[in-house]
Structure 1
Amino acid sequence: MRAYKLTFAALAVTAGLSLTACQSDVDGKGPSSPSPASTGSSASPSGGVPGSGGSANRSGGKGAGGKGTTAGTGSGTTGKVARCRTDELEITAKDGTIDGDPDGTVTVRLKNRGGRDCAISGYAGVDLKTDSGSLSAKRTGEHANPAVLKNGASTAFGINYPLNKSGGSGVRVTGLLVTPPNETKTVALAWPGAATLPVTDGTGTPVKVGPVGNAGQGG
């Protein structure tokens, strides 16, 4: 019985070797060596950082520690858009006060007339011209969302001010000065709100301005 088992095992080994030799002869390549991929420990299929799907390579990066492209410049972005210039904007102002509001509101609208899309965000500079001098509006502190203003499209912001209910003459408003965000050129407009502001004590300003994109009440 022992001799029979050894003979059977020998025949099995011989048959296996013969089958391997036959396969090598058929494909003409001989016994193959392990593929290079089987020797790596953590390389991703596309050669990028493991788990990233090779996105660094597709976006022009040079791997970890290399000088890749700046974030936000890959596919799916629209690229940089130049900011809106004062001369490209048609700026108008109207009374936006709603009956029953405790304060008055003026809505300033900015329309893109530049023939191209432009970027705009932040707060405009606002000054009221009065018979007692210039009065600068204070920012409300609301978050300003950046936006691309399409050619021919409009955005707006609100100016909030106290109504003169004192019965006195108050401070007479004679004009409105608006400087778009990140610009230095100012546009002079007629003041469409209430004719006067109440006289206030102290050095603070009672006039508030919201960020572009938030027209306030009545806007």
Structure 2
Amino acid sequence: MNYTRITALAAVGLAATLSLTACDNNDSGNNSSSKTAPSSAPSSSDGGSKPAGAGSAGSGAGNAKSGSGQDTAAGSGTAKGETKTGSKSTFCKTEDLAIDAQDAATDKSSGRINITMINRGSATCSATGFAGVDIKDADHTSNPIQRGHAQPRITTLKPGDAAVFDIAYNIDSSGNSLTHPTNIQVTPPNETHTVSLKWPSSAGQIKGAYTDVEVYPTHTTK
């Protein structure tokens, strides 16, 4: 009888020990699971998720791109409005130039008209390059004049200085010219404003068509 009671008590004790061990293992598993679960990332305003701090980094990149664009635009604007003539000079404006046309033919076969531009402004400016020239005819058509084969020369004008460019053509002495020019429309180099000058009355008639007339680049009179 005593042996039977001891065996029964031993069995009860073993069962209790196994039950406690199982409880400990379950508790340990639950604690481990709660510690390793990742925390949710902050949500962006568009419903997605992104790492913290990404918004400020994106703003910085956008500001940098915008700044570089402004610098480029400013640099381009400055270069476009200036020309290198030893020192930087802005191009002469039409409103600052006194412009005149005169017959300058040296013989009866070669026609030439000199267009003179005097700087009436208060600052030095550049008239370097080709002027835009159109000749208006009595039939009210406007005819663009092509450039002659010549290299532009540096033409810097101080206040009061003059620049000249030529319009060249062959003279028609037959009296049967098909052209009847009335006005010369001049747009100074690198300008958009035009002035209209009377065709010199003493100038010879144009031989051929307006496509046979050429304009040459500006140069100084000094």
| TM surpasses 0.5 | yes
**d(CA) in 2 for partners of 1:140, 1:207:** 9
Using the size of structure 1 for normalisation, the TM-score is 0.56
1:83 is aligned to 91
Instruction: Give a deviation string over 1:144-188, Cα, whole Å, max 9, x none.
Output: 012321111101010002212233153111111000000010000
* 1:94 has 2:133 as partner: no
Structure-2 change in CA distance of 1:196 and 1:114 (3 Å): same
Query: Paired residue for 1:118?
Result: 125
Moved over 2 A (4+): 193-200
Superposition pairs of residues 124-163 of structure 1, within 5 angstroms: 124-132=131-139, 133-163=141-171
Report the structure number with the largest CA radius of gyration: 2
Residue type of the alignment partner of 1:110:
M
TM superposition shift of 1:207: 0.7
* Amino acid corresponding to residue 196 of structure 1 in structure 2: Q
Greater percentage in helix? 2
Residue 176 of structure 2 aligns with which residue?
168
Q: Structure 2: where are the runs of 5+ without partners?
A: 1-84
Identity of counterpart residues, as a percentage? 36
Q: Secondary structure at the match of 2:89?
A: coil
- Alignment partner for residue 196 of structure 1, among 191, 205, 208? 205
- Offset of 1:121 from its aligned partner? 0.7
Deviations, residues 23-79 of structure 1 (Å, cap 9, x unaligned): xxxxxxxxxxxxxxxxxxxxxxxxxxxxxxxxxxxxxxxxxxxxxxxxxxxxxx964
- Partner Cα separation in structure 2 for residue 99 and residue 78 of structure 1: 38
Number of aligned residue pairs: 135
Q: 1:158, 1:214 within 8 Å by CA — same for their partners in 2?
A: no
- In structure 1, stretches of 5+ residues that fail to align are 1-76
User: 163, 179, 186: which one pairs with 1:178?
Assistant: 186
Is 2:217 aligned against 1:211?
Answer: yes
SS state of the match for residue 156, structure 1? Answer: strand
TM-score, with normalisation over the residues of structure 2?
A: 0.56
Is the Cα–Cα contact under 8 Å of residues 89 and 126 in structure 2 kept in the other structure? yes
In 2, Cα distance between equivalents of 1:114 and 1:125:
21
Please say if residues 173 and 195 of structure 1, whose CA atoms lie closer than 8 Å, have aligned partners that are also in contact.
no
Q: CA RMSD in A?
A: 2.2
